[in-house]
Structure 1
Amino acid sequence: MATSVTTQLTSLLAAAALLVAAVACQQRADSPTPAGTLATSTLAALPLEAPAPATNLTSSAKVSLGRTLFWDPVLSGGRDVSCATCHHPATAYADAVDLAIGENGQGLGAARHFRSPNTIPFGQRNSQTVLNAAFNGLTATGAADPTAAPMFWDSRASSLETQSLLPLATLEEMRGHQYAEGDAPDSVVARLRRIPAYEALFKMAFAETMPITATNIGKALACFERTLLATDSPFDQYMRGTTSALTAQQVQGLQDFVQSGCAKCHGGPMLSDYQLHVMGVADNSKNAISDAGANGTYAFRTPSLRNVALTAPYMSSGALPNLQAVLDFYDSGRGGARSANPHVATSRLDPLFPTNVTNKQAIMAFLNSLTATTYDRTVPATVPSGLPVGGNVN
């Protein structure tokens, strides 16, 4: 009798186990994959705050000053272009054109063009968004060091403080022909010192006898840019545990994104490994010479994919007009990588180059889930110089 009962109990337990397994399988088929599975283990939500260096702690006075400087074309040689010209909130803090038009330009976004006559070349590369740039360097395995954050397509600058000053001295970005490259910082400082409102703003932000310096301009701009965070995308919500934040197609796209090898470089909270890779991207025909990337190697830093659906066109050269073209570029070899640049042999392409991108429509749906909607879009009514806010954007 005892043996019979035990046998029956064992059978019932086995049947129950099968039923539970069947239900679990059905749930996996009907519901989004929860965060933390193998496929998403290299990805993560963004932190809610960005780190600041000990030498430039954030204050409301610095942020206010930095915002004002960001929008004031007085920083440019021709007094016609500001930081916001190529990093405008209307275009997700990028500029919606393939190659940047800085000094001697007019208009905003895709309508921007050079004024005539013109002796300024296009910017050599596509403008990256500054949204979430405060997290640059943050990867799946490493924290973001604000003093060593890689900037620009070739990582030639480290930290927002350093990055923010370089456009002021670059011919095609903000300097123009008004002064020599080496004279740019002192020339801008001299301009600001002649504006009483800036004297007051800098004294509020920096407790120094002569607060208007190039270093402090960089610090103020960096403090403002650290407030340009976009951390509430559906993907972030999903990774924080709200599985309903993504559609079934977006979850499938996430899985395909990882399985196609995209996440090997586009991983971590910023969907970038912040490394330099040779991808063989085609040059832009507007450039007079080929863009050889970092140190002439044709390597470029992996861009973040945050808000990527808002920041077309793509790649360092701006040569790919939409996300479909990007996925087609990586899938062009159908099992073997292929360079699109005659200066880069296919044999030189990075081994991490994806060669078989599957289910592109689902991947694009996933990439759309990286779009955040809540970030600062404030445009000041005026700037202390009295110049048009943002430069010649009308």
Structure 2
Amino acid sequence: MPAVAAAEPLPAALSAADFHPVDHKQAALGQLLFYDKILSGNKNISCGTCHHPKFGTSDGLSLGIGEGGVGLGTDRHAGTGHSRIERRVPRNAPALWNLGARQVHTLMHDGRISAANTYGNAFNTPAEEWLPDGIDTVLAAQAFFPLTSETEMAGGTGENEVAGAVTDRIDNGWPIVAKRVRTIPEYGRKFVAAFPHITAPHEVTIVEIANALAAFQAVEFRSIDSPFDQYLAGDATALDAPQKRGLDLFYGAANCASCHSGPLLSDQKFHAIGVPPFGPGRTRRFDLIARDVGRLGESDRLEDAYKFRTPMLRNVALTAPYGHNGAHQTLAEMIRQHMDPHAAFDTWTPASARLPKADWLQQADFLIWQDRSEIDRQKRVLSPSSPLLSAAQVGDLVTFLQALTGTTLDTPPFGVPTQVPSGLPVD
């Protein structure tokens, strides 16, 4: 491994052995499901709508336009008439790179999905003991929950049978979605071919759907061939001089690797870095104000207030905007947020948010800034996680982060299908 003078050691190079094994037939089936709107309550949005490869497996927006929106990525708008969105998705759509790695144990900005036997079914999730058995990985466990979210895929309570069922209990919508899928003849045949324990279409449940979705994502969005990865594998020429200076900063004086650590470039822990708040917030049931308390909402521990999970950084240059709510548009802005969170907080303006216009929502988008008590609470937990850097050093760090972009992203194993078995349009 190339030598580097650093406070933190360089991680080992990622290889195929660091990822869960995947059945190719299940992954191929998952590709179709990922881009098929049949999984949504109103059959108008797919997983790929908000996690599209054109936008680095995100959507290019600060806060997503979920169920009811029209279009893709930065061209997506909030819809019209009775089907328009009622509120924005509360958080930025996270990228999906390398989530099939064996080391991944915690997902979502607040970590509400994790590998833990809290409820006797191997995973700690919002479904608690109602999560079914047979789930292969934490990535498969995550696949259950966009289907239950009103703003993401389920739709409003009175709009369709899935949303109505979920309102009663979180797991009641999954059998409806599974029946929709398995009764499409092409899907029925593919499930029988892909899963050895499925002998007839009527046996397909949401578990097989989730496992197929995870298998596809684990293969399609694996990225281990960036210049940085090549450097870790022993190619001392893979990084140019500015990228190498950025690497030295990342693992040294800039202190980035204290949190963005290990082969995945994330400690999978939670930190409060003071990303400026806006949007509807991910409020708890008893919260009366539109705020996002981060990890506290999951753990109920006061010390977790306003903390969010450290993101993994492969292909980070493709996944703007940044932060749990997409408050910053550039990597340089996000680096400065770490250096001086108070200054970044105080100088941030709503113009920095990339939000598709929705007149009926805009008054509430930045309402939190009128609540001085809440703003003060958020500012009290801020502390720099990186020392002050010069403009040249920030530039070198950005150049290094750009060196985390994979070199074969234009030739994925599957790509976006031209059609799906439901016959619904593909984004």
Work out whether the TM-score is over 0.5.
Answer: yes
Partner residue of 1:74? 38
Deviations, residues 217-276 of structure 1 (Å, cap 9, x unaligned): 111111111102111100011111111111101111111223111111011111111001
Partner residue of 2:325? 317
Residues 111 and 309, structure 2, Cα contact 8 Å, conserved in 1: yes
Partner residue of 1:157? 113
| Alignment equivalent of 2:396, drawn from 362, 372, 393 | 362
Partner residue of 1:34? 2
Deviations, residues 122-174 of structure 1 (Å, cap 9, x unaligned): 11111111121112xxxxxxxx346xx21111111120111011101111111
Residues 126 and 318, structure 1, Cα contact 8 Å, conserved in 2: yes
Aligned equivalents of 1:338 and 1:84: distance in 2?
Answer: 32
| Alignment equivalent of 2:88, drawn from 116, 122, 135 | 122
Partner residue of 2:385? 353
Aligned equivalents of 2:86 and 2:173: distance in 1?
Answer: 16
Alignment of 1:210-249 (within 5 A): 210-227=202-219, 228-249=221-242
The offset of 1:344, in angstroms, is: 3.6
Aligned equivalents of 1:94 and 1:345: distance in 2?
Answer: 27
Unaligned runs of 5+ in 2: 115-137, 282-288, 298-304, 347-373
Partner residue of 1:203? 192
Alignment of 1:1-394 (within 5 A): 34-35=2-3, 37-39=5-7, 41-52=9-20, 58-117=22-81, 118-135=84-101, 144-145=102-103, 149-158=105-114, 159-177=138-156, 178=160, 179-180=163-164, 181=166, 182=170, 183-206=172-195, 207-209=197-199, 210-227=202-219, 228-258=221-251, 259-285=253-279, 287=281, 289-296=290-297, 297-332=305-340, 342=375, 344-349=377-382, 353-358=385-390, 359-375=393-409, 376=412, 378-390=415-427
The offset of 1:39, in angstroms, is: 4.9
Residues 78 and 85, structure 2, Cα contact 8 Å, conserved in 1: no
Aligned equivalents of 1:120 and 1:109: distance in 2?
Answer: 19
Residues 330 and 357, structure 1, Cα contact 8 Å, conserved in 2: no
How many residues matched?
341
The offset of 1:194, in angstroms, is: 2.3
Give 3-state SS (helix, strand or coil) of 1:263's partner: helix
Aligned equivalents of 1:323 and 1:43: distance in 2?
Answer: 22
How has the CA–CA distance of structure 1 residues 81 and 35 changed in structure 2, closer, same or farther, with 3 Å as cutoff?
farther
The offset of 1:67, in angstroms, is: 0.8
* Structure 2 length-normalised TM: 0.75
Give 3-state SS (helix, strand or coil) of 1:255's partner: helix
Aligned equivalents of 1:60 and 1:256: distance in 2?
Answer: 40
Which amino acid letter does the alignment assign opposite residue 139 of structure 2? L
How has the CA–CA distance of structure 1 residues 224 and 345 changed in structure 2, closer, same or farther, with 3 Å as cutoff?
closer
The offset of 1:338, in angstroms, is: 7.7
Tell me which moved more, 365-374 or 119-128.
119-128
Aligned equivalents of 1:371 and 1:281: distance in 2?
Answer: 24
Identity level (%) = 37
Give 3-state SS (helix, strand or coil) of 1:58's partner: coil
Residues 72 and 383, structure 1, Cα contact 8 Å, conserved in 2: yes
Aligned equivalents of 1:123 and 1:61: distance in 2?
Answer: 32
The offset of 1:95, in angstroms, is: 1.0
Which amino acid letter does the alignment assign opposite residue 181 of structure 2? L
Unaligned runs of 5+ in 1: 1-32, 136-143
Residues 151 and 157, structure 1, Cα contact 8 Å, conserved in 2: yes
* Structure 1 length-normalised TM: 0.81
The offset of 1:120, in angstroms, is: 3.0
How has the CA–CA distance of structure 1 residues 267 and 61 changed in structure 2, closer, same or farther, with 3 Å as cutoff?
same
Residues 202 and 211, structure 1, Cα contact 8 Å, conserved in 2: no
Which amino acid letter does the alignment assign opposite residue 294 of structure 1? R
- What do you get for the CA RMSD once the two structures are aligned? 2.2
